[in-house]
Amino acid sequence: MRYYPVLLDLAGRECVVVGGGTIAEGKVAPLVAAGARVTVIAPVLAAALAAQHRAGWFTHVARDYCRGDLVAAFLVIAATDDAEVNHLVHAEAVAAGALINVVDDPPYCGFILPSVMRRGDLTVAVSTGGHAPALAVRIRERLERELGDEYGRFLELAAQFRTALADAVPTFEERKRIWYRLVDSDVLALLRAGEVRRARMRIAEITGLSDFGLTRDDAGRTDSGATSLPPSGAPRTVGRVFLVGAGPGDPKLVTARGLEVLHCADVVVYDRLVSPGLVDEAPAHADRVFVGKSPGRACVSQEGINDLLVHEATQGRTVVRLKGGDPFVFGRGSEEMLACVKAGVHVEVVPGVSSVLGATAAAGIPVTARGIAGSFAVVTAHRAGDDDHDWRALARVDTLIILMGVERLRTIADALLAAARAPDTPVAIVENGTLPGQRVVEGTLGTMAALAAAADIRPPALIVVGDTVALRATLQPQHSDAEMADVA
């Protein structure tokens, strides 16, 4: 690493910019904003700089640079279009012990200027070591889209309670835990929504501070600033539960809202089909509770999961229940939501990409196609009770998708054949859809059970029955090295 990243306090420092053209324009304003005493040396100023000078932003020396101009300088920027002049400025600055940047000439830079994003007191600087400033700009622009004004507002609040928190919590490790819980909580989301009062109350709850000196809310209305907390040992404010669809497997397919609430979690409750990489997105302090179920065997009963969600929320914690696919597509999310509603716990459902659509798309199989399939149905091979599906009705659906059916392939095939579905109907079985180990076995309704057995297909896998499967040969995406060859 050639450059050591550092943020300079320039308040009251003498900073000199040599050059008055468009190159210099972008250098002066940040120096002025940082509180520096700025001098610009140039015979003529560009229009924007001239306006800033008339406003009293800086001192203008209306002539060419002369040796001796940098005697009192702490920081110097050479921004002329004359390389010889810039190098003379560099030589004097180095001799005077001043920091020097020659614009767009890295060998003559004692420091380089990163692309900077600011949100109040939040400063993010992006540098490419002077090799590709345009890339730094694009990265900064991406950060500006992702990091809103709520970050600056959070820091305004933090400045008001930081000292009080240090006094109330003298132990560094405990303060560190509180700070991480704060930044990983829903405070930023509340500020983004303009709910400053609720954000303050949440800060008070997490820090244990009943009043951190705020006197106005976001609309400027006078407020007492006090937030009363329950006495020690009293019941805490009820938390919240988020039922989040984790998507079909690939952790990148979770929704933006799902990732947002996951970053605020105090507890993450997840099942077997959730990617470990997605669970790792939860804050470091968050408890992680595995409640996965394997075919025919439950790790934790559904009633136990319901009780866990309610219990953790009533302790004032933000609970994220990560469920493979979508919570309401064979995910028993309605049962978990009902348990929360009955207990008076706030619950929000965050939809996810179901494997019904995600895994089929990843395999290159459309569920509908004009002129081929105008309907599709989704069923599970595991239903509560002893009743079975109406296979005669399902056999008439253009595209039939069957979940959790690997162990019942022979029974499913026989039922569809008995319902008059043609034995040469194309069938695909997608194992580990959207994941690096995805496999697809293609065959027909008459051969699929034998083919799956020969390929040793294992859950999680879904079965697609219908003519759209035949489109896969032309629509399938390029396979990764990890995908095994189809069994013909």
Task: Give first-to-last CA distance, the chain, whole Å.
Answer: 54
The pair of structure tokens assigned to 438 is 């995805």
CB 226 within 8 A of CB 250: no
CA separation for the pair 273, 434 (Å, rounded): 12
Separation of CA 11 from chain center: 36
Active-site annotation holder among 69, 250, 271, 326: 271
CB 109 within 8 A of CB 78: no
CB 250 within 8 A of CB 274: no
Active-site annotation holder among 293, 307, 414, 467: 293
Q: Is 323 a catalytic residue?
A: no
Nearest to 306 by CA among 281, 277, 343: 343
CA separation for the pair 354, 351 (Å, rounded): 9
CA distances from 148 to 111, 180, 190, 405, 414 (A): 29, 19, 12, 46, 57
Separation of CA 157 from chain center: 23
- What is the helix, strand, coil percentage profile of the chain, to 5? 35, 20, 45
Q: Is 64 a catalytic residue?
A: no
Q: Which helix (H) or strand (E) holds 277?
A: helix 276-279
- Starting at the edge strand found earlier in the chain, the sheet holding 14-18 runs 59-61, 37-41, 14-18, 75-78, 99-102
Q: What is the dihedral of CA 415, 419, 420, 421, to 10 degrees?
A: -60
Q: What is the dihedral of CA 298, 302, 305, 311, to 10 degrees?
A: -150
Count the alpha carbons within 13 Å of 427 in the hemisphere toward its beta carbon: 27
How many Å is the maximal CA-CA distance in the chain?
98
Identify the three-state secondary structure at position 342: helix
CA separation for the pair 154, 218 (Å, rounded): 12
CA separation for the pair 137, 132 (Å, rounded): 9
CA separation for the pair 198, 321 (Å, rounded): 23
Neighbours of 385 (CB within 10 A): 5
CA separation for the pair 101, 68 (Å, rounded): 17
Catalytic positions, written as ranges: 271, 293
